[in-house]
Amino acid sequence: MGTGQLLRAFLCARRTRPASVDVVYRRPVTVDDEPPTFSARLDALEAAVRARTDLVPSVGLVLGSGLGDIAAAITDATAIPFADLPSWPAASAPGHAGKLLLGRLDGVPVACLQGRLHLYEGNSERLVVEPVLLMGRLGARVIVLTNAAGGIRPEWPAGTLMAIADHLNLTGRSPLMGRNDDALGPRFPDLTNAWSPRLRQRLHQAADQEGVHLEDGVYAGLIGPTYETPAEVRMLRTLGADAVGMSTVLEAIVARWAGLEVCGVSLVTNPGAGITGEPLTHEEVLAAANEAGPRLAQVLRRFVANLAVPFGDARPGPHALDEMVAAGLLVPPRSKAPPAKPHPIPAPNGQTIEKILRDMRDE
């Protein structure tokens, strides 16, 4: 191929390349070189969703790695692949279906992200949080974030469920860098009660009703995609983390900024690096998520069903939690079942984590 042909092929390839997310969210050089505002992006995203369904969700759910099961329980669902929404890439992480679902979960109108966008996939911090903001724009007032996570506490076996009480944002990123979109939230948002205490209490109530054991803890969000080193896991323990993963924290930040109420559950799929000495694999993570996922789905379904009695067609539209309380739509707690024991999942070498710890103590 001559130089002229090469140059023509190069220019042609450049011209036919689809507009990528990088173009939408090019890193600005100065504040005058800003990407589009969240509001402008949400206008486009909302219009694309509204072309397919007019369902107004009350609750938005984000389902992490291997936790897509609950999606099967959503009725009258409209499923929109991420790639059908303006400038969203298809989800590339294994175990992530990459769909936005709108439908009803036990009668309650919900939006549900089956899979999410991660920083480690090369997505910008702004793009990663758009799905949560979109669910808010569509009507959701409560956001439930779930993830698969490594356990930092050595006594937690794989399969432990942890209600997120607080987080450490260790990604080194914030979705709120750059000019603030004052239409959506304040410049300096407060994160004191980022993880809603009253929603966490309701998660425990739902877990008790289902006889599922639920711990509380602090989630540390790192950028990934490597799992941590054993030294990092020890550092995270010193910092006060109980579980570690590669998602969730930016979504929680932006949701609070936009005035949405947030709760979440981590499914501990493996003891953190170095705790058992066994190497970590994504297959192990997905297998544990698949094994324990149904228990998490049970809790979330009960939580959603308790949050609001079925709205029916008489009360369509978004309902802030306070309005739900005022309208008597919140179901009071039922009888309190004794908390169930965690379900131990064998460690990769066939032992349970409890046994490994016992043996370590006896040595």
The residues of the shown chain that bind ligand HPA, judged by CB under 6 A, are 148-150, 227-228, 244-246, 269-270, 272, 280, 285
Give the nearest distance from C-beta 305 to ligand HPA in angstroms: 28
Residue type, 156: W
Task: CB nearer to ligand HPA: give 223 or 331.
Answer: 223
Helix 125-138, helix 38-50: angle, nearest 10: 50
Query: Is the CB of 285 or the CB of 292 nearer to ligand HPA?
Result: 285
Active site residue 319: no
Minimum gap (Å) between residue 224 Cβ and ligand HPA = 7
Distance CA 335, CA 333 (A): 7
Query: Tokens representing 167?
Result: 């987080």
Q: Which of 165, 282, 287, 290 is catalytic?
A: 282
The residue among 280 and 321 lying less far from ligand HPA, judged by its C-beta, is: 280
- Residue 328 amino acid letter: G
Burial of 278 (0-12, 13-18, 19+ CB in 10 A): middle
Active-site annotation holds for 121: yes
Please report which helix (H) or strand (E) contains residue 163, including its range.
strand 161-169
Please spell the DSSP secondary structure of 236-268, one letter per residue: HHHHT-SEEESSSHHHHHHHHHTT-EEEEEEEE
Phi, then psi, of 213 in degrees rounded to 5: -80, 130
Active-site option among 162, 246, 288, 324: 246
Residue 167 known to be catalytic? no
Q: Does the active-site annotation cover 213?
A: no
Q: Is 148 a catalytic residue?
A: yes
Shortest reach from residue 234's CB to ligand HPA, in Å:
13
Asked whether 33 and 118 are in contact (CB, 8 A), the reply is no
Question: 110 vs 285, which CB is nearer to ligand HPA?
Answer: 285
Cβ proximity to ligand HPA: between 156 and 311 the closer is 156
Residue 268 CB, nearest approach to ligand HPA (Å): 8
247 flagged as catalytic: yes
Nearest distance in Å: CB 272, ligand HPA: 5
Known catalytic residue: 25?
A: no
**Residue 234 near residue 210, CB atoms below 8 Å:** no
Catalytic residues: 65, 96, 118, 120-121, 148, 246-247, 270, 282
